[in-house]
Amino acid sequence: MSMTPNMRPLIIATSVLMLSGCLSTDMTDLHEEVARIKRTTPGEQLDPPPKLEPYRPFAYAAYGLRNPFEEASFLQDIPAPVANSGVQPNLDRPRELLEAYSLESIKMVGTINKDGLWALMEAPDDVVHRITVGNYMGTNHGQVIGVSDQRIDLIEIVPDGLGGWEKRESFLTLAE
């Protein structure tokens, strides 16, 4: 929108009228209100600001000492732990159905005695499997080494944290 020559005086006149309302020099009502507020508001004495100590630069004088970000020399002399304990899972054998589930998710729900004692195990998918000594279950290569009416004993082969493997005993008990 472009300004026509007739609009210029109108804009100037409007601006002068608007600004003329701000030119009042009588501020007695403002001074009275400020005085009233000061009289009625209890004033609290503020604490003085804290005294600031002047800055003193720190001179680092530990140049001859050990760097705290480097490995300590006494740790360099310790041989690394042996990672291979000789235990390893057989990764070439066929996996059994219950090896797809963690031991915590499998429940022992009973036993049957037919050609030896078999444990009845319920998987998370509500399918019941039967196992006996020698079967595998769990995600840590757990092999069943004992079955009783109340319990199943296993030997698991788990990582030892050093790049190798170690055996760990586990068990499951009959669920109530």
The answer to whether residues 108 and 160 touch, using CB atoms and an 8 Å cutoff, is no
Tokens of 120: 């009845």
DSSP β-bridge partners for residue 117: 113
Q: Which domain holds residue 108?
A: 97-173
CB-based contacts of 108, cutoff 8 Å, min separation 6 = 119, 120, 121, 122, 151, 152, 172, 173, 174, 175
Whether 116 is covered by a domain: the verdict is yes
Asked if the model's pLDDT at residue 111 lies above 70, the reply is yes
Please give the single-letter amino acid code of residue 83: A
Q: How many domains does the chain have?
A: 1
Q: What is the pLDDT of residues 64-110, one digit of tens each?
A: 787 777 777 666 666 665 556 678 899 899 999 999 999 999 999 99
Average pLDDT over residues 18-44: 80
Choose the weakest-confidence range: 2-16, 36-50, 105-119: 2-16
The answer to whether residues 168 and 155 touch, using CB atoms and an 8 Å cutoff, is yes
Asked if the model's pLDDT at residue 168 lies above 90, the reply is yes
Which candidate, 41, 143, 35, places its Cα nearest to that of 89? 143
Say how far apart CA 173 and CA 154 lie, in whole Å: 11
CATH number at residue 155: 2.30.30.830
Say how far apart CA 89 and CA 80 lie, in whole Å: 23
The answer to whether residues 144 and 135 touch, using CB atoms and an 8 Å cutoff, is yes
